[in-house]
Amino acid sequence: MTQARMTVNGVPVQADVEGRTLLVDFLRGTLHLTGTHVGCDTSQCGACVVHVNGKAVKSCTMFAFEAEGALVRTIEGMAGADGALGPIQQAFRDEHGLQCGFCTPGMVMSTAALLTENPKPTQNEVRAYLEGNICRCTGYNNIVRAVLVASGQDVNLLAAE
Amino acid sequence: MYAFEIERPTTIAAAVAALGFEGAQALGGGQTLIPSMKARLASPAVLVSLTSIPEMRGVCLSDDGMVCVGGATPHALVAVEAAQYFPALAALAGQIGDPAVRNRGTVGGSLANNDPSACYPAAALGTGAVIITDRRRIAADDFFNGMFSTALHEGEIVTEVRFPVAEKAAYVKFHQPASRFALVGVFVAKYADGVRVAVTGASEGGVFHWAEAEVALSGDFSAAALDGLKVNADGMIGDVHATPEYRAHLVKVMAKRAVAGAT
């Protein structure tokens, strides 16, 4: 056993875990933050994307002990304290950027990372950045629209691009 | 996956000591090793994490014109920090996997693993890089020993890689869209003493020099210089994604695009 110590969505946490405990299992199983999803468990699908020290990572392909001392942010940290949707979440809702919703936590976290690096991405930049996040429902167009709306851009102009 | 012990050294010396234990295995960014452990293709008794060693992380330019990358530097950092020194190398790092994978995967891990479809082996062989370990320096030409095999000894750590900056270079990759590895990737680099061409994703032997193209391009650095060459499909990888013949064809197409796009 080892100690996992980190700050998750602003809250310091620590717990005894096995070395082989994946970060996603620590978040879901130990902390009961089940918003982060496990889709493929092989680092293909991106449903498990969270931020570790501000960087998007696949939490199914990182051990909890590797996040020692890190600032971790999950989908639960994207909403306001009163439960109100954050701007990216609101844009996904407004633009129908989800259907079954399974991929959405990872999509939102990847989008947040993208908009930090590139606040006004083009449609192609959005598609390229989200290549590690797989959605089997939407066909991606509404997700791309949602990201562009979240970035404050006029999607009606971009649709004619 | 099976249980294991953890070591988290903060110096190279401590990492080398930890890797001396039987069944110990270095853990870089884990983007290949962790999935392998889940599939029980790897079951180390001790995992020695290399990501808490400050001296193994970072990008700089040496006085003799080489981009020096710490072995535990993630691809995303190379994509940003090497851009001012060696754009082709930065562009290669920025095409590996996807953004989340690039935030974890490391150059040392990629080279030590030597996946036959990985991008970094093409950069190392295509630039004639020097691979520096905890105990010696290995020329890229002597490093790769076929698919998933390298000159590294048991417990030896890639601490730094030095890439000689080319006059002109480019890496062009035909993405395998599901895995985001290279179906075929070609790194072309022009130096004062000749041109180097390294191919990944194509051969069952892993990354290789395309010697005929190097000769042709050293005489005339233009895409047209490759027109008369033909790549033999013998020994090329054949799978559900592409036949050996298709990969052989792509080698030339990617090489021509790399020459045309070299900057």
pLDDT in tens, A98-144: 999 999 999 999 999 999 999 999 999 999 999 999 999 999 999 99
What is the predicted pLDDT for the residue at A63?
Answer: 98
Question: Would you call B49 and A66 a contact, using CB atoms and an 8 Å cutoff?
Answer: yes
Q: What is the pLDDT of residues B125-163, one digit of tens each?
A: 999 999 999 999 999 999 999 999 999 999 999 999 999
Question: What is the ipTM, given to two decimal places?
Answer: 0.95
**Burial (Cβ within 10 Å: 0-12, 13-18, ≥19) of residue B159:** buried
Nearest to A129 among B3, B34, B99 (CB): B99
Q: Which residues of A touch B10 (CB under 8 A)?
A: none
Chain A residues 108-127 with CB within 8 Å of chain B: 110, 113-114
What is the predicted pLDDT for the residue at B54?
Answer: 97
Q: Rounded mean pLDDT of chain B?
A: 97
Q: Does A43 touch chain B (CB under 8 A)?
A: yes
Q: In chain B, what are the domains?
A: 1-50 (3.30.43.10), 168-261 (3.30.390.50)
Q: What is the pLDDT of residues A29-51, one digit of tens each?
A: 999 999 999 999 999 999 999 99
Q: Which residues of B touch A70 (CB under 8 A)?
A: none
Question: Would you call B35 and A131 a contact, using CB atoms and an 8 Å cutoff?
Answer: no
Question: Would you call B49 and A55 a contact, using CB atoms and an 8 Å cutoff?
Answer: no
| DSSP symbol at A157 | H
What is the predicted pLDDT for the residue at B178?
Answer: 87
Comparing C-alpha atoms, which of A132, A63, A40, A45 is closest to residue B34? A63
Distance CA B155, CA B140 (A): 19
Domain boundaries, chain A: 2-78, 87-154
Cβ atoms of residues A61 and A85 within 8 Å: no
**More confident: B245 or B178:** B245
Residue A158 binned pLDDT confidence (cut-offs 50, 70, 90):
low
**Burial (Cβ within 10 Å: 0-12, 13-18, ≥19) of residue A154:** exposed
Question: Would you call A46 and B2 a contact, using CB atoms and an 8 Å cutoff?
Answer: no
Cβ atoms of residues B157 and B134 within 8 Å: yes
What is the predicted pLDDT for the residue at A156?
Answer: 78
| pLDDT at B79 > cutoff 60 | yes
What is the predicted pLDDT for the residue at A45?
Answer: 96
Nearest to B104 among A2, A22, A62 (CB): A62
Do β-strands B5-7 and B46-49 pair in parallel, antiparallel, or remain unpaired?
parallel
Comparing C-alpha atoms, which of B96, B67, B95, B63 is closest to residue B81? B67
What are the backbone angles phi and psi of residue B99, rounded to the nearest 5°? -55, -40
What is the predicted pLDDT for the residue at A155?
Answer: 86
| pLDDT at A161 > cutoff 70 | no
Q: In chain A, which ranges are E strands?
A: 2-8, 11-17, 49-52, 55-58, 71-73
What is the predicted pLDDT for the residue at A38?
Answer: 97
Question: Would you call A43 and B101 a contact, using CB atoms and an 8 Å cutoff?
Answer: yes
CATH fold label, A87-154:
DNA polymerase; domain 1 (1.10.150)
| pLDDT at B98 > cutoff 60 | yes
CATH fold label, A2-78:
Ubiquitin-like (UB roll) (3.10.20)
| pLDDT at A160 > cutoff 60 | no
